[in-house]
Amino acid sequence: MLTKIVPIGNSRGVRIPKAMLDHCGFADEVELEAANGSLILRPVNAPRAGWDEAFAKMATNRDDFLAHEDAPPATQFDEKEWEW
């Protein structure tokens, strides 16, 4: 796709069609990189952002237990060999 570089205030920019933004998963923020004479845009993706805080809060509230009552019992591997 060919497009023009246009003035935006004191800068210059490229208009990216909405369909292309949606296809690539871009939201309000992107990662921009220059490499080998090219500009590379990547969506900012942090799918597990905030998990540490959520798990810490669960532990504080004693809400970090197995949700399924029919969960299989721990095995010897679970009890003695498993390491994080």
The answer as to whether 37 is a domain residue is yes
26 within some domain: yes
pLDDT of 62: 86
Q: Is residue 17 in some structural domain? A: yes
Q: Is residue 24 part of a domain?
A: yes
In a domain, residue 73? The reply is no
Say what the pLDDT of residue 5 is: 95
Question: Has residue 58 been placed in a domain?
Answer: yes
Does residue 74 fall inside a structural domain?
no
N-term to C-term CA, the chain: 48
Q: What is the DSSP string of 46-82?
A: -TTTTHHHHHHHHHHTT--S-S-TTPPPPPHIIIII-
Question: What's the pLDDT score for residue 8?
Answer: 94
Q: By residue range, what is the domain housing residue 16?
A: 1-64
CATH number where 4 lies? 2.10.260.10
Phi, psi for residue 34 in degrees, rounded to 5: -105, 125
Provide block-wise average pLDDT over 10 residues at a time, the chain (84 residues). Answer: 93 93 88 95 83 90 78 83 84
Number of folded domains in the chain? 1
pTM of the model: 0.48
Q: Tell me which residue has tokens 């060919």.
A: 2
